[in-house]
Amino acid sequence: MTPLRVLVLCVGLVIALAPMAAVAADDTADHMAAELANATAQYQLALQQADNINAQTELNMANDRMIALLQSEALRQHQLDGTANGNAIEQITAALANAARSDGELNARNELGIAQIRAAGLVIKADATLANAMAQGRQSEIANAQAQSSFLHRLADTITSVMAEQNMSNARLIADARANELHTPGIAEAANGTAMGANDLLAADVVLAAGGINAVSESISGSTKASAIISHAAASLKNAQAMASATR
């Protein structure tokens, strides 16, 4: 092929391909415009998604706080109920203990009364025997009656003093032991109710604080997710804008 013919062929090829290059350039501009429109739409959609995420985050935060508050209030109510129940049991057992001590005091008085009756019976018998002996006038019987009378009077004094005091003290000790048996479990219940109440209060505070922490965590998580979606869409939009400007 001669140089002239090669030159003519090349010029013809350039002329033939020129419209195709123009068409390709136009297609690229249209494509970039479409990409820009799509990126703009995606950005608007990302903004809407971010708003939805933020709204859901606010709802989740409110739910976390409300659940924590309800659980905390339930624990506080349990504390009040437990403490009140323990105190009520203590008061009941205290009343029973007082009744037991009252019974013990009554028994002690009964012991004294019984001792006095027994002593009076002995004294009456001794006096009657002595009076009868003196009425008969026999000296031996009078001496024997006087001896018996003296012994029975001393025995009566012992019964109404030492023995009565021992029996009364024993009645009071028995009543006091019974009262302690009744009251001690009530005291333990009150102390346990107070201790459990303190645990419930601590748990209530912990639950309430945990609800606040969960709400903060929800806020951070939702904000991070929403920001990531917007950032990604904004980057895509910025890239599309740059490419669209480059094709103009």
- Give me the residue label for tokens 């929403």: 226
- The pLDDT-based confidence of 248 (bands split at 50, 70, 90) is low
pLDDT in tens, 47-101: 999 899 999 999 999 999 999 999 999 988 988 888 999 999 999 999 999 999 9
pLDDT in tens, 112-148: 999 999 999 999 998 998 898 888 887 888 899 889 9
Domain boundaries of the chain, sorted by first residue = 44-242
Rounded Cα–Cα distance for residues 156 and 243 (Å): 127
Percentage of residues in the chain having pLDDT higher than 90: 51
3-class DSSP assignment, residue 1: coil
Residues 159/115, Cβ–Cβ less than 8 Å: yes
Domain range 44-242, CATH class? mainly alpha
Per DSSP, 163 falls in state I
Res. 157: pLDDT tops 90: yes
Question: Which carries the bigger pLDDT value, residue 82 or residue 13?
Answer: 82
Pick from 16-25, 27-36, 172-181, 205-214: least confident? 16-25
